[in-house]
Structure 1
Amino acid sequence: MYVDPVLAVGLAMTCGALLRHHAVEVLALTAAVACLVCVHVTKGKALLLMSLVVLGLGGGWLRAHRAIVAHEDVLARVEEDAPGLQRCDGTARVVGSPARVGGSMRWLGEVTDASCGERAIRTPFHASFYDTDASGEPLARGDRVAFVAQLGPPERLTNFDTSDPLPAEVRRGAVRSGGLLDRRLLARGRGPPAWIDRARAAVRVRIDATFPADTAPMARAMVLGENDLTPDDGAAFRGSGLSHLLAVSGMHLVLVVLGLTRILRALFIRIEPLSARIDAGRLADAVGIVVSFVYADFAGSSGSALRAAWMTSVLLLARLLVRRGDGARALGFSIVGMAWLDPLVAYDLSFVLSVLATAGLFVFRPAMADVFAGALRLPGKLAQPLAATLGATVACAPVTSLLSTTLPLGGVLANLLAVPVGEIVSLPLCLVHALLAPLPMAERGCAWVASLALATVRGIARLFARIGWLSIDVPPATSAQLAVLAFAFLAWVFLQRSSRRLVVVAACLALCLALEIPARREGAPSGKLRITFLDVGQGDAALIDLPNGEAMMIDGGGIVGSPVDVGARVIAPTLRARRREALALVVLSHPHPDHFGGLPTGLDGIAVGALWDTGQGEREGTGGAYAALLRTARAHGTSVQRPESLCGVHAIGGVTVEVLAPCPEASADRGPNDNSFVLRIGYGSRHILFTGDAEREEEGDLLRLPAGALRADVLKVGHHGSRTSTSRTFVAAIRPQWAVISAGARNRFGHPAGVTLATLHDAGVRTYRTDRDGAIVVETDGRSLSVMSAE
């Protein structure tokens, strides 16, 4: 058995970064692979190989750790000078290629001179700027800009059941982000990065000018790597397994670069003075190496495109040096190059999927092609692409389970239909279109034909996304399951000529299934009450696991004015990670978007037994997402209940839920905050009080309840800790030991207010905040009670 050392080192460097969060899994996988290698490789080679792997792991961890520490240091120093969200002005140099995100242009700027409020920021830092002014002159890397912007710290949304957002934040490099209020170009940048960005801007303008509005986002995605598809189109491509067609994937880059080298080789051969002195093929390969990285940069520098640029360049270099190209070694060099440039590249899903897809092509495609061509007697032109698609799909499936609720089994057939249209027709036409601006008629004709091809691809995606039986529901793989599946893949490779190959792989698959049992038990614990106050930014959301195994939710978050959908980013992934397909109850404390905004997408596909709503929003004619939420609930047979039928004590899932307000019904002369549902949940001798956004007026009503009616161990602080809630008298009546404040790091209201924090401190209450502590879990067996945070 041969193990390529470069590939081994590359994988080790990449996995080293994962030691921060998954040390047990990574080390266990390394030990298992070491045993596999020692059995099948001579002692000397095994020792050398494992030494390289250990060095790779250690180096990967150290470089990732240093990157995170350096980022956190800059973040802390900038926060000291300019805490929270503030209006800032200064100068910045564009260091990140501008890209369209929704209706804005986002670019990364290096700020060396800025002041926020009345204080100067002493530490140079990077910030992500969002520019909504379409009339402004396009920016490019190297440009210097005077700016006025509303800047604040990143909204991390740190939760237990979702991936840690810190590595992605470090990779972006920004310690501040926000919308531009004004900008003025001071100086133009020069050099290749600036030229590439100006070319990107010109192509973007021409796509918008010549493509129909419904296919222009698809063309920009395919050429520029910008993902601003409509929600329906995005869901269709994900659900059909065709997302890679609208991303500048490794396959796109390989097709473009190898196609160009063939054209150049044919062209150089025909130039006699050149071909007489220089090998035309080697010259074309040398140009192809440069083009690989230029094209990857032009197309948005995604992890998959850059990895493919490295791998293609290594293979072209081997051909240039008249060496035999080795696919495994070229893959290894591409991983080493990416890991060296980006210590946290393991957290780039496009890179990970690209590596897995390439590995799937190497490992599974030959055997599958033999089966399709031999046993099934399919023609080679069908057997080869079918084997390639299926091989890549199988290799990527464990990771794609983290991204989607379903595994599109029809994706193999969808790819067979869509890839020829997308790769052979749409991609070349979109690229040629970028060169036709001087020829308006040809440009429009090319755009028209390309649009037809893109519309065909979209039609295939929509068709296969709608066919439900072509997809199966899958839970997201846990880190332990991913480690076991990784070992199964490596065992399949290492044990090619061993009779134990199928036994080892089958045992790994059985273990992976067995690991689903503890995952489900952890997601739905029995005999205890677990309340998770989710980090949803400036909003409220709490998932409550009940002692009988059921669950309920109170509110669903929603960041007003932000493109971040906390339902899709926090609530849905949390429910999937806990294997929740149903909720006994959802409580909407009051009809404000920072409490219901995440419910529509967060609860998509979740069966809800009952929805408690104060009724004030419907009575006052509130529309939009709130009205849609109620319509959807009723359409699915969910009982929508009001305070007049709820006030009092309810036994739900082994706990008592007391509805204390608004009773007997929501008051018509109060705003929604002071009509919030106030709930007291009890289990054994422990109680938790939820106060929604209740302010002083509703608190006054609650203080008139009998003595002890408000007593609770944990207080969910009202209205995100505003100065208009949580009076000293109110806290004294509750006598909590712990308090939880749900607020966003970027909120413009100054929540939580200093006076509220002082009130809790003076009462001896230990306070947790989602803006600093991330998600907070309160757990009790009815006697003891513990509180912990995600940060």
Structure 2
Amino acid sequence: MKGFYLYAAVSAMLTIFLAYHFLWITLIVVLSYAVFLYLRCPRYVFILCVLVGIFFFGLFHLFLFHHQTSISSNQTIFTGQISSIPNIDGSQVRFFFSTQGEEVSVVYYMKSESEVKQVQSLMIYDRCMLKGKLSSFEERRNPNAFNYKGYMDTKHVHWKLKASTFTPSLCHPPKQLSFPQRLSIYRQHGIDYLQKNVPQPASSFMQALIYGERSQIDSDLLQLYQSFGLIHLLAISGLHVGLMTFMFFYVLIRMGMTRQLATNILLVTLPLYAIIAGGAPSVIRAVLMSMLALASTKYQKKISLTDSIALAFLLMIAVNPFYILQVGFQLSFVVTLFIVLSAQVILKRITSTMGQLLLVSFIAQLGSLPLLLFYFYEVSLLSVPLNMIYVPLFSTVILPLCLFIFTMSFFFLPIAGIGQWILNNVLLLSEWFLQLIHNLSPVFVVTTGKLSLWVVGLLYIAIYSVLWSIEKKKYTSFFSIVTVLILVVQCLFPYVNPYGKVTMIDVGQGDSLLIELPYRRGVYLIDTGGSVLFSSEGWQVRRDLFDVGKDIVMPVLKSKGIRKLNKLLITHGDYDHGGSASTLLDQVKIEQVVLGKKKQLTDLEINIIEQARKANSQISYVKKGDYWKQGDTSFYILSPTGTETTSNNSSIVLFTELGGISWLFTGDLEEAGEAEILRTMPSIQADVLKVAHHGSKSSTSPSFLRALNPQIALISAGQKNRYGHPHKEVVERLQEANVFIYRTDENGAITYTFRKNKGTFYTELP
């Protein structure tokens, strides 16, 4: 099989995908690959690849069968051991807990600062007792959102536990620990040591680059690195493992050891380092490839890099076939494979270090491009030049400094302190530079929207063809043009798409509705959702606060390829309607911010106006009687008049016709506001009613409902919200009027897709 292991790896990959998604398209791809193997490879290779495919198809189903939960959903008391390092974030602590032969994801909210100190003393593998309520992980609730349930399934975790009773002082270490468990405890001690003794940001970067622990890095900074394609530098991968292997091999040789002994020591210590570094897929892949390279040198059995990566792939998915469904695993192997395949021919033609660095960065970006666009919907054109700057910076300055500081902190603290000062300033300077580029270069970010699997496949074929033509010295621009053309078509498709959409985004307890007109003639967002931030004591403040705009609305917009909003309407100044406006103004171009005319603006509305001015967005104030027209579609403002005395009744009320039906969007309008609309427009009717105030009892009066005579009601409310929305009486009132109800708390996001005068409703959750 020498030289053919890559074919076996692809066989395993395709059959696992077939087992996971048994679709006609997947089956056709598998059969096409089998025909390719039959025509291209020797018969023994074809037979072995078929056997490998059958083996992994069966193995996936075997894992699926043996990783079903045995825990009852009604269970409330749990005994077991902590199986991950507790992640403390303000008053919240999260960890995995092993009980009854499986793991559950635990979250616990601490009630006092003294309890925080108790939790900080917890160690991985401590045995504890917990009380709380189990719940299952949810499917995605919004279009193209991250499927957290699917992700946890790949880790064989079926339950999340919200602990109500947890006494850390009663936890105790196990009587016996295996050697790998002792290494994990050593890892936790090392992370705690850095957290307590090294100042930020050096501490968080040292944790990431030495122990593979990124939780302490600021979430906005992580987002910044990700947006420029630099996030791989903050994960332990081939670059780090290769550099550290070379450094230790060099040290061992300089100490007088033979190459054979140094190789043996590294073969033993590399698996131990994988445990200390957190055991992420990229770490395991890099360690396995390094061990295969060392073993081939030791036994003088040369192994090619492609065979090395294929064998590492097969070994990892043989241990856990669900690895293949994880984004980090996919990116790690795809990028490495592209570099390995190119290194054998293309890189040999480039002699200068700078040229090789440029080419490696370019090939890595090409290899990761389809997957990045599939999962994250956008890419920065500055990724390659920034990688040329930051890869050498991390490999020659930041990583060596981290290792130097860590070593010196045990022997000579003054020198370690100098190193910390240097590292902090280097990190602050690099962060300042990235932020500067980010502020100056939004035009360099290409947002394509979510790619279909067909487009991902076509892109990889085109990119492979580009590199193949260069390798064969056929410097044709045809395949390059095809690659660019695929991306251009993806970006321009919305502008030739005759379908429009109305989407009620599930933002929890709040409102956010997205209107996309056909041919992208207009994109309007009515409200942004948001939440009120309450004052907290220092020990309660969290590093990574959930933000509706950043974590829900922006991913929805990006996944649809939306790079600009023509209008952002803030119906009124409550945080659950406009609290995320500032986040959106920072991250997406908004041509016009629309507010209702009123006697006095709220503090939130004043802040939105200030932010809009900084973003060079036009500010418009509307009142009853105003309207705008886009193509054949008109939008009419029915409220406010500007004389309302309450915030809810000063909501912007919008009427329009889309897809052959009429729509009324009501904000948080209450009964008095409804009566005013009926007084001036007694014959008003609407096919679709966006139920006001999340289905509150103070809205959707019987007289208003009778006059409108809607066929469909849309209610935006959070799951099990503390307000009891939608109110039982409102739901019953709608049902008695034979109105079909869609609710975000039960259905997730609700979308109406239309073309001309026909359309269809569908929900994200069945």
TM range (shorter): 0.7 to 0.9
1:638 and 1:619 map into 2 onto residues whose CA distance is 21
Aligned to 2:362: 390
Q: Is the 8 A contact 2:237 2:282 kept in 1?
A: yes
Does 1:284 find its partner at 2:268? no
Pick the aligned partner of 2:391 from 398, 413, 419: 419
Change (3 A) 1:146 1:634: same
State how far apart, in whole Å, the 2-side matches of 1:718 and 1:328 are: 60
Match of 1:552 in 2: 524
CA distance in 2, matches of 1:454, 1:684: 53
Q: TM-score, normalised by structure 1?
A: 0.81
Q: Does 1:665 align with 2:642?
A: yes
Match of 1:638 among 593, 598, 617: 617
Residue by residue over 1:241-278, the C-alpha shift from the partner in whole angstroms, topping out at 9 and shown as x without a partner, is 432222223322333345335545665838xxxx9xxx
What are the residue-to-residue correspondences of 1:85-234 with 2, within 5 Å? 93-99=81-87, 105-110=93-98, 126-129=104-107, 134-136=116-118, 137-146=120-129, 154=137, 157-171=140-154, 173=157, 175-176=159-160, 183-190=167-174, 191=177, 192=179, 195-224=182-211, 225-230=213-218, 233-234=221-222
Q: Quote how far apart the aligned CAs of 1:531 are.
A: 0.5
1:395 Cα deviation after fit: 1.3
Indicate the residue corresponding to 2:735 in structure 1: 761
Task: Give deviations 1:37-72, integer Å, cap 9, x for gaps.
Answer: 44433456445535644664x4476468669x947x
Q: Does 1:718 align with 2:705?
A: no
Deviation at 1:282, TM superposition (A): 4.9
Deviations 1:685-704 (A, max 9, x none): 51122222334444444454
Structure 2 gap segments, 5+ residues each: 534-543
Matched to 2:514, the amino acid is: L
The equivalent residue for 2:348 is 370
Q: Which residue does the alignment assign to 2:538? A: none
Q: State how 1:59-98 maps to structure 2 within 5 Å.
A: 59=58, 62=61, 70=68, 78=73, 81=74, 93-98=81-86
What's 1:629 paired with? 608
Please tell me the residue identity of whatever aligns with 1:401.
Answer: L
Structure 1 equivalent of residue 749 of structure 2: 775
Equivalent AA in structure 1 for residue 275 of structure 2: V
Q: CA deviation at 1:34?
A: 4.6
SS where residue 611 of structure 1 aligns? strand
The 1:581/1:753 distance shift into structure 2, 3 A limit, reads same
Q: How many aligned positions are there?
A: 742
Change in 2 beyond 3 A, CA 1:650/1:4: same
RMSD between superposed Cα atoms in Å? 4.2
The structure 1 residue matched to 2:424, chosen from 436, 443, 451, is 451
Matched residue SS, 1:160: coil
1:282-334 deviations in Å (ceiling 9; x for gaps) = 5313323432422332xxx3332233233334444555655433422332233
Structure 1 unaligned segments of length 5 or more: list them.
83-87, 113-122
Q: CA shift at 1:126, angstroms?
A: 1.5
Which whole-Å CA distance do the structure 2 matches of 1:555 and 1:35 have between them?
53
Who is 2:541 aligned against? Answer: none
1:8 paired to 2:8: yes
Cα distance, 1:227 vs structure 2: 4.0
* 1:193-592 → structure 2 map (5 Å cutoff): 195-224=182-211, 225-230=213-218, 233-264=221-252, 269=257, 280-297=261-278, 301-319=279-297, 323-373=301-351, 378=352, 381-402=353-374, 407-436=379-408, 438-439=410-411, 440-455=413-428, 457-458=430-431, 461-462=434-435, 465=438, 468=441, 471=444, 473-476=446-449, 477-488=451-462, 506=478, 510=482, 513-514=485-486, 517=489, 520-522=492-494, 525-526=497-498, 529-547=500-518, 549-559=521-531, 563-592=545-574
- Which stretch of the first structure deviates more once superposed, 440-449 or 465-474? 465-474
Output the amino acid matched with 1:423. Answer: S
Which residue identity is paired with 2:312? S
Could you say if the C-alpha distance between residues 229 and 789 of structure 1 is closer, same or farther in structure 2, counting changes exceeding 3 Å?
same
> Would you say the 8 A contact 1:774–1:789 is kept in 2?
yes
> Which residue identity is paired with 2:391?
V
Q: Is the 8 A contact 2:513 2:526 kept in 1?
A: yes
C-alpha change, 1:163 and 1:212, in structure 2 (3 Å) is closer
CA distance in 1, matches of 2:59, 2:663: 44
Worse overlay, 583-592 or 434-443: 434-443
Q: How much does 1:633 deviate?
A: 2.1
Native 8 Å contact 2:382 2:444 kept in 1 = yes
Shift of 1:352: 2.0
Looking at structure 2, the residues matched to 515 and 383 of structure 1 have their Cα atoms a distance apart, in angstroms, of 26
Q: Which residue of 2 is the match for residue 119 of structure 1? A: none
Distance in 2 separating the partners of 1:21 and 1:541? 33
What one-letter code is carried by the residue in structure 2 that aligns with 1:553? Answer: L
Given that 1:713 and 1:738 are in contact with CA atoms closer than 8 Å, whether structure 2 keeps it comes out as yes
- Aligned residue for 2:540? none
**Alignment CA distance shift 1:543-1:409 (3 Å):** closer
- Could you tell me the percent identity over the aligned residues? 21
Q: Distance in 1 between matches of 2:409 and 2:397?
A: 19
Query: In structure 1, what residue type is equivalent to 2:232?
Result: H
Q: How far apart are the structure 2 equivalents of 1:539 and 1:718?
A: 11
The offset of 1:183, in angstroms, is: 3.9
Mapped contact 1:414–1:464 kept (Cα < 8 A): no
Q: Which moved more, 1:40-49 or 1:567-576?
A: 40-49
Question: Distance between the aligned counterparts of 1:419 and 1:103, measured in 2?
Answer: 36
Q: Which amino acid is 1:385 matched to?
A: L
Distance apart, 1:359 and its partner CA:
1.0
2:656 maps to which residue?
681
1:677 Cα shift?
A: 2.3
Counterparts in 2 of 1:10-25, with a 5 A limit? 12-13=12-13, 16-17=16-17, 23=23
Quote the Cα distance in structure 2 between the aligned partners of 1:447 and 1:11.
48
Question: Are the aligned partners of 1:155 and 1:745 in contact in 2 as well (CA < 8 Å)?
Answer: no
Contact 1:108 1:127 in 2 (8 A): yes
How far has the Cα of 1:400 moved from its partner?
Answer: 3.0
The amino acid that maps onto 1:679 is: L
- For residues 707 and 571 of structure 2, what CA distance do their matches in structure 1 show? 21
How many Å apart are 1:354 and its aligned residue?
1.2
Distance 1:657 1:246 in 2: 48
Matched residues in 1 for 2:631 and 2:61: separation? Answer: 47
- Provide the rounded CA distance (Å) in 2 between the counterparts of 1:470 and 1:643: 31
C-alpha deviation, 1:353, in angstroms = 1.9
Amino acid at match of 1:535: D
Range with bigger deviation, 187-196 or 288-297: 187-196
Contact 1:29 1:483 survives alignment (8 Å)? no
C-alpha separation in 2, matches of 1:540 and 1:404:
24
Per-residue deviation, residues 109-128 of structure 1 (Å, max 9, x unmatched) = 3467xxxxxxxxxx987133
Q: Which deviates more from structure 2 when the two are superposed, residues 479-488 or residues 178-187?
A: 178-187
- CA gap 1:141/1:721 in 2 versus in 1, 3 angstroms: farther
Residues 493 and 656 of structure 1: is their aligned pair in 2 closer, same or farther, counting only changes over 3 Å? closer
**Residues 452/614 of structure 1: CA separation in 2 closer, same or farther (3 Å cut):** same
Quick one: distance in 2 between partners of 1:338 and 1:294?
A: 15
For residues 524 and 541 of structure 1, the distance between their equivalents in structure 2, rounded to whole angstroms, comes to 26
2-structure distance, mates of 1:525, 1:638: 27
CA, structure 1 residues 203+357, in 2 after alignment: closer, same or farther (shift >3 Å)?
Answer: same
